[in-house]
Amino acid sequence: MPIGEGWWIDPKGYIHRVDEHLEFIKKNPELFGFTKEEAEKFTVRDRDRILLDVMKDGWVRVRDVGGGRGIMVETWLITPQIRRNILDFLYDELGFAPYTKFMLSELSRRFYNWVTPEDIKRGSLYYLVAWLKEQIGFLINALKVNRKKVLAPLKEGDIVSFVIHDHKATRHHWDLRIEWPVKKGVDINKELIKDWEGKKINREDIITKNKKFVYRSWAIPKHRLPIKVGERLMISETELHPIEYGEFEGKIEEGKYGAGEVKIYDSGNAKVLKYDKDADVLVVHLKGSKIDDIFSLVPAFKRSNQWLILKVDKRKWLK
């Protein structure tokens, strides 16, 4: 996220993407209860006061923490309505998982720390629990396996498989899975077990006979891919999946991780057009029975499982 960019969430839960928070207020003063004449007089010196006044009226400010560490959600006080607004934003707009970390600043209580959507859902006692966890070294990244140590880099021109699962779990989403090579010497079953540690699953479901490839997976909360060139969606990298899972359709039983109905929306070949192994950025042509487009997958922040998926102009790549 470029410096200054972010979102305003209004008291009714509507989301406004902004280039700079004060400038957005000056351009849309009526949304915040100001007149045009008042907005014209706003200066940089007024910035903190105006932002605070707006948040006291129920607006929530979201911005980059800095240093690629993630996002900050700022609010005056978390009321039941604001709690719902924040959770809807994190889950539906950014695609957060329940235990993805972000910075929360609740100004009226002088609370300032890393928390998760689940902490917000449960209430202020869990903010303290989150703070204690932070003190003993919990990291932002929820993924247990270091991808760079386990997975070999894709190469330009590689053709691998992909599958998109339509997953009607607690929150309806898609799962994009791209076949990925495993580094030589890596015990991939050991790494799969590690990546799924703590999840309620049948262990045999994550054991693979294919020791050379696994599926790298991303959850897409909007259960669709970007439609227009340049459109980007926030997605979340999830656990590694065995290659055999690419053919799975059925119902995950209640009480198990990811409980709900799973169907294959599309599958086919994924041609690697570019892969930057240092930045972990992938440009790939997904060609299935329904999808035939080029997308770029880019990590959104360091030490986080949050990514962006962007639709790319095919004409620039398929010449």
Q: What is the pLDDT of residue 124?
A: 57
Q: Is residue 258 within 8 Å of 264, Cβ to Cβ?
A: no
What's the 3-state SS for 136-174? CCCCCCCCCCCHHHHECCCCCCCEEEEEEEEEECCCEEE
Q: Tokens 């998760």 appear where?
A: 116
Q: What is the pLDDT of residue 303?
A: 63
Q: How confident is the model at residue 203 (pLDDT cuts 50, 70, 90)?
A: confident
Domain ranges of the chain: 6-135, 147-317
Angle at 64 (CA atoms; ends 58, 69), nearest 5 degrees: 130
Long-range contacts of 251-259, Cβ-Cβ distance < 8 Å, separation of 24 or more? 252/169, 255/200, 256/200, 256/201, 256/202, 257/196, 257/199, 257/200, 257/201, 258/167, 258/169, 259/169, 259/170
Q: What is the pLDDT of residue 171?
A: 77
Q: What is the pLDDT of residue 316?
A: 87
Q: What is the pLDDT of residue 182?
A: 97
Q: Quick count: other Cβ atoms within 10 Å of Cβ 240?
A: 27
Reading the block at residue 131, the tokens are 């703070």
Q: What is the pLDDT of residue 101?
A: 85
Q: What is the pLDDT of residue 164?
A: 98
Q: Is the pLDDT of residue 59 over 60?
A: yes
* Mean pLDDT on 33-51: 89
Q: Is residue 212 within 8 Å of 288, Cβ to Cβ?
A: no
Per-residue pLDDT reduced to its tens digit, 245-274: 999 999 998 888 888 899 999 999 999 999
Per-residue pLDDT reduced to its tens digit, 134-169: 444 333 445 677 898 999 999 999 999 999 999 998
Taking the C-alpha atoms of residue 145 and residue 151, their distance in angstroms, rounded to an integer, is 10
How many helices (H) does the chain have, and how many strands (E)? 9, 16
Q: 268's torsion region: left (phi>0), alpha (psi -120 to 50) or beta?
A: left
Considering just the CA atoms, what is the radius of gyration of the chain in Å?
21
Taking the C-alpha atoms of residue 27 and residue 199, their distance in angstroms, rounded to an integer, is 47
Per-residue pLDDT reduced to its tens digit, 284-310: 999 999 999 999 999 876 666 888 999
Q: Is the pLDDT of residue 230 over 80?
A: yes
Which among 178, 183, 175, 184 has a CA at the least distance from the CA of 272? 178
Q: How confident is the model at residue 113 (pLDDT cuts 50, 70, 90)?
A: confident
Q: Which residues contact 260 (CB under 8 A, 6 or more apart)?
A: 167, 168, 169, 170, 251, 252
Q: How confident is the model at residue 68 (pLDDT cuts 50, 70, 90)?
A: low
Q: What is the mean pLDDT of the chain?
A: 87
Q: Is residue 291 within 8 Å of 266, Cβ to Cβ?
A: yes
Q: Sign of torsion, CA 101 103 109 110?
A: positive
Taking the C-alpha atoms of residue 25 and residue 23, their distance in angstroms, rounded to an integer, is 5
Q: Is the pLDDT of residue 130 over 80?
A: no
